[in-house]
Structure 1
Amino acid sequence: MHGTRVGWTLPSVVALTLTLFGAAGRAQQTPNPGDPPRDTLPDEPQVFTSVGQKFRVVATKGLSRPFALAFLPNGDALITERAGRLRIVRGGVLDPQPIAGIPPVLDLRLKGLQDVAVRPRFSENHLVYFTYYKPKPGEKDVATAALARGRFDGGHALTDVRDVFVSDAWCATPSASRIVFAPDGKIFMSVGVPIRGRAGTSQPEDSQNPGSHVGKVLRLNDDGSAPPDNPFAGRPGHRPEIYALGIRNILGLVIHPQTGELWEHENGPMGGDEINIIRAGRNYGWPVISYGRAYNGDLTGDNSGPTTEQHTAPGMEEPFMIWVPSIALSGMAFYTSDRVERWKGSIFVGARRGTQLQRVALNAKGLPIVREALLLDLKQRISEVRQGPDGLLYLLTDETAGALLKIEPIPAEPPTAAESAQSQP
C-alpha cells in the first residue's frame, strides 16, 4: 500500500503494530511458534478469553488436512481436504460420505485440493468452483494450479466437472492457490510461486515474468477466459489473465466488504508474511523486495531481509502490514457481524506455524492498531478463517485429525445483587 494513501510510512505502521502486538498477545499468552501442535482436540467445547470477550470453541471432527471452506445458502459448509476429498457439514454434522467428482490431485506438502467457492446466484445455477494441483503426466511430483467447476446435486456428487483454466505454473515444490468472486462476478485466482526447485520447472524469479502465471493474481471470467479489460490484455509478452504480479504464496484472498477492494495475505520465506491490497497492474515485489530471507539464509533480492533498511524498489508496492517472524498466515476474514461487537471491523487471520487465530483491529482510517493472538492454548494449525451466514467465525485446523471450529460468544453474566449494591453511590 502506498504510504501517501493514509499519510503513514510502512516502517511506522510496522513499528506500531509490532509494539502493540506485544501487549495484546499477553491477553492469553506469549506466542511460541515452536510449540508442537496437538494431535487431537478435546471432545467438549473449550472456553477462551479475548480482550473484553469470552467465547467457546465447538469442534466438528472427522476431517483430514482440511484447507478451505465455503458456505451454501442454506448454511451447509463445503470443505476441501488436501488429499482430494470434498466434504460437507450439514446442520453442524460432518457427512461421512465425501462428495464425488473431484479430479485426481497431487497431494504433496501444501499442494492438493485447494480453495472452494460457490458461484453467485448458487440457488439457481448450483455451480461450485475449486482450485487444485493438476498432476503432470509422466513427471513425478510435478503439478500446476488449475481452476475447475462442477454442478452440485445437493447430495454426494458434483456433475459436469471440468477444468475452466489451467495455469502454466508447473512445479515440484510447495505452492498454493486461492480464489474469490468479485462483486462483478469475475474470479480472482492466485497462483503461488514455489521455492527453488528442479530445473525445467517454475522458479521464484518467474513471479516477475509477465509471460508466466507463476506468482500472480489472475482475473478470469467464470468460464476461465481472460476479460478484455484486464491490465495486460493485448500487450505482447504478457499473459492476458494477469491482474497483478510479484506475488509469493497467497493463502488468504478476500474482498473487502465495504470498499470492494481485493485483499490478500501471503507467506513470506523465512520471515516476512504480508497483507497486501491488490490493485490492477501493480507489482508486489517478490522476490526483489521482502522482509524475510530464503530458507538457506540468503537474501532473496537486493532489498530483502529483516535487517535491510530499505524494502522498496521503483515500481513495486509496499505491503499493508507484515509479520516478522513469520507465523505462516493461512485463511482470512473481515468480521462484519454484530454477534461480537468488539470484533466488528477487525481482520482475522489463521496461522499454521504460529498455531493461533490472530485478530487485527483497525482504526477509523483503516490502519492496524492492535494484534491479538487467540487460541494459542489449543495448539492447532489454522488453515482457514471464514465468517458464516450466522455471523459467527469458523476455522479449519490443518491437522491429520482436523476439524471445523465454530467460535461462539459467551454473553457477559449480569452482576450479582451484592455487586450491584456495591456499585451504588
Structure 2
Amino acid sequence: MKFFRLFVLASFYLFFSCNAGAQDGPALYQQHCAQCHGADLNGGNATSLVDGIWQFGAEDGYIYRNVKFGISHLGMPSYEKTLNDTEIGAILKYIRGSEKNAGAERPSIVKELETMDYFMNVEVFADKLEIPWAIDFIDASTALITERPGRLRVVKNGVLQKEAVRNTPEVLHEGQGGLLDVAVDPDYSQNGWIYVAYSHALSNVEGAERPPAMTRIVRGKIRDNAWVDQQVLFEAPHETYRTTRHHYGCRIVFDPWGYLYFAIGERGTDIHAQDLARPNGKVHRIYKDGTVPTDNPWFDAENSMPTLYSLGNRNIQGMAIHPETGQLWATEHGPMGGDELNLIEAGKNYGWPVITYGLNYNGSIVSEYTRKPGYEQPVYYWKPSTAVCGLDFYRGDLFKKWKNKLLVGALKYEEVSLLDIEGDRVMHEEVIVKGQGRVRDVSTGPDGAIYVVLNKPDAVIRLTPKLD
C-alpha cells in the first residue's frame, strides 16, 4: 500500500503539477525519442504518438512507466538510468501537448476485425453506459450489465432499457469499488436467482476517518424491474474490513457440482494474501445458498476462514470454469509485470507476495524470488503486464475453431487474447481484439457471439463471424 500511495502521489506531481524542466521537453524528446517515433511525433520505426492510439496503455501513468522501464520484448529500451523523473515528466507533457495540438481523437469502434481463423463483424450491443463492469445473460434475449457506480442495467431484445433495476444494494463507489460482478444462476429458469458482488462499506465506525469496506456477495431476484428477496451469501468479519479503496476483485462462477467460487483482492495489503484469518487475497468456495462446504481445505483449521479455497492471489479479476473438465481458471493482476493465469486448486498457495514475476510500481523489488517450494507457479504469465481482466472459455457454436479456447481481456493493453489450452499448458496466444477500449469483461453469449465490456468508451460490443 505504501508504494501504491507513493506512486500515485509521484505521478500526480510529475504529470500535472511539475513545471521544472518542462521547457526541455521538446529537446529531450528530440534527443531520446525522435529516432524511433519521428521528429514530428508522427512515427517512423515506432508508432505515432499523436494519432490517439496507445497500444500499451493510454493513461499517463502507463506511458510514464513505459518510458522509464521500457518494453524490452518490443525493443523499446529503459530510460531509468538515462532520464530522471522530472525529465520523463517533461517529455510526457510535450507529447500530450503535441497530441492535443494535432487534434488527436480516440478512433471509433471498428466494424470489422481480422483474426487468423475468422473475419469478425463488430457491432455495438449497448452504449452510453457508465463504467460497465460485467455482463451475464438470463436467456437469449435478456442480458444484465453492471455499472460500477451501482446500477444494474437490462438489455432486452438488443435494447438497453432506460431505467436501471431499482433497489439494488448500496455500494461504495470510491476508487476501484462499486457494483462489480453479476452472475445468473445456472438453474435460473427454475429458481430465478441472480448473484452480485460489490464493495460494501460499514457505517458509523467509531474513530474511522472513512468507512472501511470489503467485497460482499449477495443474491436476489428481479421482479417488476426491482431487486427483491435479497440474501447475503458472504459478508466478511467486520474487523477484517479495510479503508483502502482498491483491489476488491471480484468474479463469481459456478462449477458443474453446485459450488460457487468468488475471489477477493488483497485490498492493497500484500501480506494479508498469506493470512488465513483474513478474506482478502484469496479464492473462496461456498454453495449457492451461502452455506460452506465442510470439505473446504481450511474448514476446521484454527484461526482461518472456512470459506477459503486458495490463498496468495493478489487481485483476481477473471474467473472461468472449463466447460469439459470443470476446472477453475483465474487471471490475476500482478504489480508492474507478472500478471498471471492460474489453474486454481483446493488448498494451493499461489505465492503473492512471496514469489512474483513483477516489481512495485516505483520499480522496487517486491520479492527476490520467482519460485519457491510450497508455492504454485502460474500456468502462464504476462511480463510486462497487460492488466488482465475478464475471462471466459468460448462455449458457443458460431466460432467452431475456438471451442473451449480461453478468452482473456486486458485493461491496459486494451485487448482480448485467445489462448489455446491443452491440459494445464498454454499452447498459443493470439490477440483478436485490439485498441477498442479497456476490456473489463468478456463473455460467450447464449447466441454464440462474443460480448466484450469496454471502458473508455463505456460500451459493450458484440463479435460474430463474418459470413462469406
Q: TM-score, normalised by structure 2?
A: 0.74
Contact 1:330/1:384 (8 A) holds in 2: yes
Residue 398 of structure 1: which of 455, 458, 467 is its match? Answer: 455
Which amino acid is the alignment partner of residue 174 of structure 1?
H
Report deviation, 1:404: 1.3
Structure 2 SS opposite 1:102: coil
Which amino acid is the alignment partner of residue 57 of structure 2?
G
Q: Does 1:347 align with 2:406?
A: yes
Alpha-carbon separation, structure 2, partners of 1:220 and 1:51 = 40
> What is aligned with 2:464?
408
Alpha-carbon separation, structure 2, partners of 1:117 and 1:375 = 24
Structure 1: runs of 5+ lacking an equivalent = 1-29, 196-202, 304-310, 413-425
- Mean Cα displacement is larger for which, 264-273 or 65-74? 65-74
> What is aligned with 1:188?
261
Report deviation, 1:142: 3.0
Report deviation, 1:187: 1.1
Residue 99 of structure 1: which of 165, 172, 185 is its match? Answer: 165
Contact 1:78/1:86 (8 A) holds in 2: yes
Contact 1:353/1:381 (8 A) holds in 2: yes
Structure 2 SS opposite 1:337: coil
> What is aligned with 2:193?
127
Distance 1:365 1:134, change over 3 A: closer
The superposition leaves residues 306-363 of structure 1 with CA deviations (integer Å, 9 ceiling, x where unpaired) of xxxxx2112110001000001101101111333123322321111111111111123x
Distance 1:326 1:93, change over 3 A: same
Structure 2: runs of 5+ lacking an equivalent = 1-52, 61-103
Report deviation, 1:42: 4.1
Which structure carries more relative contact order (alpha carbon 8 Å, separation 6+)?
Answer: 1
Equivalent pairs, count: 364
Which amino acid is the alignment partner of residue 235 of structure 2?
V
Aligned 1:167-186 pairs, distance under 5 A: 167-168=236-237, 169-171=240-242, 172-175=244-247, 176-186=249-259
Which amino acid is the alignment partner of residue 408 of structure 1?
T
The superposition leaves residues 20-75 of structure 1 with CA deviations (integer Å, 9 ceiling, x where unpaired) of xxxxxxxxxx98213469987748x6111111311011112121111111110343
Which amino acid is the alignment partner of residue 262 of structure 1?
L
Report deviation, 1:148: 0.8
Alpha-carbon separation, structure 1, partners of 2:411 and 2:127 = 18
Residue 415 of structure 2: which of 356, 371, 379 is its match? Answer: 356
Q: Which protein is bigger by CA-based radius of gyration? A: 2
> What is aligned with 1:146?
216
> What is aligned with 2:151?
85
**Residue identity (%):** 34
Q: TM-score, normalised by structure 1?
A: 0.81
Alpha-carbon separation, structure 2, partners of 1:294 and 1:36 = 18
Alpha-carbon separation, structure 1, partners of 2:317 and 2:168 = 21
The superposition leaves residues 174-228 of structure 1 with CA deviations (integer Å, 9 ceiling, x where unpaired) of 1121111121222111011122xxxxxxx21011011111101111122323211
Higher relative helix content: 2
Contact 2:449/2:463 (8 A) holds in 1: yes
Which amino acid is the alignment partner of residue 33 of structure 1?
F
Which amino acid is the alignment partner of residue 157 of structure 1?
A
Which amino acid is the alignment partner of residue 267 of structure 2?
P
Which amino acid is the alignment partner of residue 165 of structure 1?
F
Contact 2:203/2:211 (8 A) holds in 1: no
Contact 1:31/1:376 (8 A) holds in 2: no
Alpha-carbon separation, structure 2, partners of 1:280 and 1:365 = 18
> What is aligned with 1:110?
176
Residue 297 of structure 2: which of 231, 248, 251 is its match? Answer: 231
Report deviation, 1:370: 2.2
Which amino acid is the alignment partner of residue 368 of structure 1?
V
> What is aligned with 1:53?
118
Q: Does 1:299 align with 2:362?
A: no
Distance 1:93 1:285, change over 3 A: same
